[in-house]
């Protein structure tokens, strides 16, 4: 359970006042409070700590905000408030979203440094809300932790241990295929991308839930570090490539949230986990590989490796005919150019599913944006020596052509959603510290919850 909230009914009152209502609100307060807020320049600083007139102890905290509808209005309070337990006043209908913003803002990755030890807590009286908040914050922060961890400590074997531990915690089943077992079991592209690394490539497989429930399968790109392979990245492009397993982190965090909430589904999670390294046996531009599905793919660029490991996993995912197949990947810079780093793009073969995810994301302030599977661009994947290439021969529409590549490995009857995410905050915003980030996880969870709990 998070130390940022506690299950209790008492705490120092914490009130939020909107700027537009400040003048009218002040007129209704005591002369003491009016003078106190004026002396601490509340209008400018936006946070005021008011002491008890008799004891001198902290009696009330006031926060000035632009809107009470802002999901992140408490997103930076965990580090601003002094040590103590606080209770939000008069906002019962918004309590859960405000508290979640508070908790996510209190996140700090401190595995390799001394934690600043945020000491402010929110008091949550409702046990159900308290539990839901812990489930959501734990899942989001798991994604962040996995992405933030240096590659030396987050290789395929480490991802394997994380998924095995989750399976144990939630009474699931975990299995994996490692190294040359991938060739024996016909996962050739996963093996090809990861074979140059001393950290053996793996396909990780977690199963959970009632075998008679609807099957939802999640696939996550687990490239634990991406050098670019023989098409080596420049140093600036390689600097943050520990985050290239961000897709795997997303589906692992989403899986934890699904299992903790006990959604009435049968869940399968597939993570092709590799390091795209450079060695004498690294795959080369111009090589041709026969994928699990049997499609022959010519390697145009070894830095387009994510779609290669995903295509075998997507093929495997359809063996048991999932009702819904969702993948997450840090796949293209083109999607970042189109939408920026803070709005994840996604593609879908089912318009109703896409609209449901968009609406769910808006409902929990986790926005996502649909991009088109524009079939006309499929021609950019043409190869003269194989069925197709692994990347386009044009710099334009890169997110679309990557999605179209993956679509070739998805059966037409399968409802499929493909997320192309940054998995990283370039800047700190309230509730969203710089570094690893979960984007679209709450949107998808909210969609799955509304779809399957009401079924």
* Backbone torsions φ then ψ of 186, nearest 5 degrees: 70, 55
> How far apart (Å, rounded) are the C-alpha atoms in residues 227 and 421?
19
> How far apart (Å, rounded) are the C-alpha atoms in residues 44 and 198?
56
Cα distances from 33 to residues 1, 15, 26, 350, in angstroms, run: 36, 13, 8, 56
241's tokens: 């490539």
Catalytic residues: 233, 307
H, E, C per residue of 308-345: HHHHHHHHHHHHHCCCEEEEEECCCHHHHHHHCCCCCE
pLDDT at 115: 74
Cα distances from 228 to residues 185, 235, 266, 305, 330, in angstroms, run: 26, 11, 36, 8, 14
Cα distances from 76 to residues 38, 65, 105, 350, in angstroms, run: 23, 12, 5, 38
Single pTM value for the model: 0.96
pLDDT at 337: 97
Contact 17, 50 (CB under 8 A): no
308's tokens: 């290669």
pLDDT at 250: 98
Cα distances from 38 to residues 53, 91, 370, in angstroms, run: 16, 25, 47
Per-residue pLDDT tens, the chain, 455 aa: give them. Answer: 578 999 998 999 999 999 999 999 999 999 989 999 999 899 888 999 998 877 778 999 999 999 999 999 999 999 999 999 999 999 999 999 999 999 999 999 988 988 776 689 999 999 999 999 999 999 999 999 999 999 999 999 999 999 999 999 999 999 999 999 999 999 999 999 999 999 999 999 999 999 999 999 999 999 999 999 999 999 999 999 999 999 999 999 999 999 999 999 999 999 999 999 999 999 999 999 999 999 999 999 999 999 999 999 999 999 999 999 999 999 999 999 999 999 999 999 999 999 999 999 999 999 999 999 999 999 999 999 999 999 998 999 999 999 999 999 999 999 999 999 999 999 999 999 999 999 999 999 999 999 999 76
Cα distances from 447 to residues 206, 307, 324, 353, in angstroms, run: 21, 25, 12, 9
> How far apart (Å, rounded) are the C-alpha atoms in residues 437 and 268?
23
Walk me through the domains of the chain, giving residue ranges and CATH numbers: 5-125 (3.40.220.10), 137-453 (3.40.630.10)
């Amino acid at each position: 359970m998070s130390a940022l909230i506690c299950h209790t009914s008492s705490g120092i009152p914490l009130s939020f006042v909107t700027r537009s209502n400040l003048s009218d609100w002040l007129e209704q307060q005591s002369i003491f409070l009016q003078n106190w807020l004026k002396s601490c320049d509340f209008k400018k600083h936006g946070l005021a700590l008011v002491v008890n007139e008799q004891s001198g102890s902290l009696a009330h905290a006031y926060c000035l905000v632009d809107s009470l509808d802002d999901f992140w209005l408490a997103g930076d309070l965990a580090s601003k408030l002094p040590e103590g337990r606080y209770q939000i006043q008069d906002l019962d209908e918004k309590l859960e979203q405000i508290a979640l913003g508070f908790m996510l803002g209190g996140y700090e990755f401190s595995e390799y440094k001394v934690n600043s030890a945020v000491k402010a807590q929110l008091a949550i009286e409702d046990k159900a809300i308290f539990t839901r908040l812990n489930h959501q914050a734990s899942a989001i922060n798991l994604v962040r932790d996995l992405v933030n961890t240096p590659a030396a400590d987050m290789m395929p074997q480490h991802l394997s241990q994380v998924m095995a531990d989750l399976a144990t915690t939630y009474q699931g089943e975990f299995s994996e295929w490692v190294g040359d077992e991938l060739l024996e079991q016909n996962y050739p592209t996963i093996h090809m991308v990861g074979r140059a690394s001393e950290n053996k490539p793996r396909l990780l497989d977690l199963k959970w839930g009632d075998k008679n429930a609807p099957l939802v399968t999640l696939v996550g790109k687990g490239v634990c570090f991406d050098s670019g392979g023989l098409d080596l990245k420049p140093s600036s492009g390689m600097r943050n490539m520990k985050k290239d397993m961000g897709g795997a982190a997303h589906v692992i965090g989403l899986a934890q949230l699904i299992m903790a909430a006990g959604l009435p589904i049968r869940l399968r999670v597939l993570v092709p986990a590799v390091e795209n390294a450079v060695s004498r046996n690294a795959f080369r531009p111009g090589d041709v590989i026969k994928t699990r599905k049997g499609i022959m793919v010519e390697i145009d660029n070894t830095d387009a490796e994510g779609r290669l490991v995903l295509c075998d996993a997507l093929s495997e995912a359809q063996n048991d005919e999932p009702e819904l197949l969702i993948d997450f990947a840090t796949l293209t810079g083109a999607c970042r150019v189109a939408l920026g780093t803070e709005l994840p793009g996604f593609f879908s073969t089912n318009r109703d599913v896409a609209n449901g995810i968009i609406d769910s994301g808006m409902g929990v302030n986790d926005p996502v944006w649909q991009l088109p599977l524009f079939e006309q661009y499929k021609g950019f994947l043409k190869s003269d020596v194989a069925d197709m290439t692994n990347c386009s021969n044009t710099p334009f529409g890169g997110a679309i052509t990557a999605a179209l590549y993956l679509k070739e490995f998805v059966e037409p009857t399968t409802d499929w959603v493909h997320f192309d995410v940054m998995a990283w905050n370039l800047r700190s915003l309230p509730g969203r510290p710089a570094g690893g980030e979960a984007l679209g996880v709450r949107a998808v969870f909210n969609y799955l919850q509304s779809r399957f709990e009401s079924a």
